[in-house]
């Protein structure tokens, strides 16, 4: 039983998407509450953060992947080793949405599980004037056809960034399987306001 508890208190989420859609910016905004406007290509970076959820320590690993498709073996390994997926596109880049479609197909093929936790994120809503992807169209496809979750966000303006991570962790059922009491508590934490890591960048924070 102790082994099962240990397994359920560590989760890895991976951010996938085309180059330049803002995967790193979303992660940096969440972890450090900062925004770097200049795009710097990522190969692969793993961030680890420990949280206290209802008295249970939970380690959340966030894997930031390359938007380049020259590393298919690395991407496959990233998918195999992860529990939940944020598929990111930019609302001003229709081609990046097509990349999300392909990535979702790849995840379902590798995971062999149509219920794999996936959140589709339309980033850069601060560029409303340059928008080329309709939120309504994506919402219909993602939630009705794919049965996945959909959010629009802006790393620049810190819009819905925390909500992306809440949705990912909620889908992985942390820490609902540990006990009935914790399950009841988990049902309330997506509405909480204490999710964001503290500004002093310590290695733990409270999820209430």
What are the structural domains of the chain?
A: 2-207 (3.40.50.300)
Task: Report the half-sphere exposure of 183 (CA within 13 A, side-chain side).
Answer: 5
Give the pLDDT confidence of 80-132 residue by residue, as tens digits: 999 999 999 999 999 999 999 999 999 999 999 888 999 999 999 999 999 99
How many CB atoms neighbour CB 117 within 10 A? 23
Task: Report the half-sphere exposure of 106 (CA within 13 A, side-chain side).
Answer: 19
Question: What pLDDT is recorded for position 70?
Answer: 61
Q: How far is CA 95 from the centre of its chain?
A: 20
Question: What pLDDT is recorded for position 51?
Answer: 80
Give the pLDDT confidence of 141-155 residue by residue, as tens digits: 999 999 999 999 999
Task: Tell me the C-alpha distance between 80 and 110, whole Å.
Answer: 7
Give the pLDDT confidence of 14-68 residue by residue, as tens digits: 999 999 999 999 999 999 999 988 877 777 889 998 887 677 788 999 999 877 7
H or E element, residue 48 = strand 44-53
| Spatial CB neighbours of 77, under 8 Å, sequence gap ≥ 6 | none
Question: What pLDDT is recorded for position 56?
Answer: 79
Task: Tell me the C-alpha distance between 90 and 131, whole Å.
Answer: 9
Question: What pLDDT is recorded for position 55?
Answer: 78
Task: Tell me the C-alpha distance between 156 and 154, whole Å.
Answer: 5
User: Could you tell me the two tokens for 30?
Assistant: 């969440």
Tell whether the model's pLDDT for residue 191 goes beyond 50.
Answer: no
């Amino acid at each position: 039983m102790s082994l099962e508890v240990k397994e359920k208190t560590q989760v890895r989420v991976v951010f996938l998407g085309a180059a330049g859609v803002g995967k790193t910016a979303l992660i940096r905004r969440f972890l450090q509450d900062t925004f770097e406007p200049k795009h710097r290509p990522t190969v692969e970076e793993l961030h680890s953060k420990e949280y206290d959820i209802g008295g249970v320590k939970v380690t959340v690993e966030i894997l930031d992947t390359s938007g380049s498709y020259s590393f298919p073996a690395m991407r496959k390994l990233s998918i195999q080793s992860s529990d939940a997926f944020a598929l990111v596109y930019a609302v001003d880049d229709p081609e990046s949405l097509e990349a999300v479609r392909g990535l979702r197909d790849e995840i379902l093929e590798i995971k062999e599980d149509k219920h794999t936790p996936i959140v589709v994120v339309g980033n850069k809503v601060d560029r409303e004037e340059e928008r080329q992807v309709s939120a309504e169209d994506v919402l219909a496809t993602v939630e009705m056809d794919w049965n996945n979750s959909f959010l629009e966000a802006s790393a620049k303006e810190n819009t819905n960034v925390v909500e992306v991570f809440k949705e990912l962790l909620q889908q992985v059922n942390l820490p609902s399987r540990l006990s009935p009491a914790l399950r009841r508590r988990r049902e309330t934490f997506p509405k909480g306001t204490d999710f964001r890591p503290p500004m002093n960048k310590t290695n733990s924070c409270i999820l209430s």
